[in-house]
Amino acid sequence: MTLRRLLLLAGILLILFLGMYSWNQRTRVLDDLAAKLGLEITGAVLTPVRSAQDAAENMWDRYFDLVGVREENEALKQKVDELEARLLANGEDLAELKRLRALVQLPVDQTWRPLGARVLSGRMGPNAVLDSITISRGYSTGGRPGTPLVTHLGLVGRVLKASAHSSIVLLLTDPSSRIAVFSQESRAPGILMGMGTGQKLEVNFVQRDAKVKPGEIIITSGLDGKYPKGIPVARVLRVAPSDYTQFMAIKAEPLVDLQHLEEVLLLESTGAPRPLEPSEAPKEFVGPPAPKSATP
């Protein structure tokens, strides 16, 4: 392209520019068009940027909300756990209160003083060969050797060995246990013998003519001087004549669940005389009137 043509083109463009400038000065059309176009371009650019900013802010706010909700959930969960633990503890306290109330209501006469004790463990140490438990009373707190133990259901056993504040109790199921008993209804005397853990008890030396029946309750007779009279001990399961002796063969089961003991009562002897039963009370002497004394 020659210089002449370039100059001609530049002149034409200058004339057009000056013409459009003059026309725009009078009409403002180009300024309005440029402003609108600029606004559209600016809006098109800023709208996604603003949307991204709003999304980021919303996400940040939701994150903090979620963090707050999570912390609140953790606090509520911890509170629920604490309430559940408290509820379980209250339930255990209520169960213990029911057991202790039943123990307190056990009727005993003035010759025996009831003392509550907790079961600390089952068979352990050198006494593991015995059917025994360890309790929280010793010879200084009422748990002297020979002291009977009961629950509200019946007899448990007696203290075998004692330290100052704990003792070993020989359960009535131990093979060395011997208890003088009566059948509650037929009043047949006998000796209750333990046969070991998980084994049925035996009632020996019961006469063949005794009217003992299955389901009858066996109670202490007190004739051996070891236990108070009238404490329930066991329930008769089977009764049959013995094949080897002149006595009856009687099987029984303990009334107390000896494998799940938690609290027991010790019956400490007070040394007071035993009250006489109505059948033992001395009868009034009936006879002729005493002679009158002679008057001088």
Question: Per residue of the chain (296 residues), what is the pLDDT tens digit?
Answer: 577 777 777 778 777 777 777 776 777 766 666 666 666 777 677 677 777 777 777 777 776 677 777 788 888 888 888 877 776 666 555 555 565 555 555 556 667 788 888 899 887 655 567 889 999 999 888 889 999 999 888 999 999 999 999 999 999 999 999 999 999 999 999 999 999 888 999 999 999 989 999 999 999 998 888 888 888 999 999 999 888 888 999 999 999 999 888 889 898 877 666 655 555 545 554 444 555 555 44
Same domain, 44 and 190: no
Integer angstrom CA distances of residue 32 from 5, 22, 253: 34, 15, 110
Token pair, residue 57, equals: 């802010």
Q: 169 by DSSP, 3-state: which?
A: strand
Q: Please check whether residue 288 lies inside any domain of the structure.
A: no
Nearest residue to 140 via CA among 266, 38, 26: 266
Same domain, 153 and 224: yes
Burial of 65 (0-12, 13-18, 19+ CB in 10 A): exposed
Q: What is the CATH number of the domain that holds 158?
A: 2.40.10.340
Same domain, 169 and 82: no
Confidence (pLDDT) at 296: 46
Confidence (pLDDT) at 124: 62
Q: Please check whether residue 276 lies inside any domain of the structure.
A: no
Tell me how many domains the chain contains: 2
Nearest residue to 117 via CA among 270, 268, 260, 262: 262
Nearest residue to 193 via CA among 212, 206, 184, 211: 206
What's the domain range around 64? 1-104
Alpha-carbon distance of 260 to 263, in angstroms, equals: 10
CA of residue 51 relative to chain centroid, distance: 59
Q: Please check whether residue 280 lies inside any domain of the structure.
A: no
Confidence (pLDDT) at 130: 84
- Pick the last residue of a domain from 78, 104, 130: 104
Alpha-carbon distance of 198 to 264, in angstroms, equals: 21
Same domain, 5 and 118: no
Classify residue 207 by its DSSP letter.
Answer: B
Same domain, 130 and 5: no
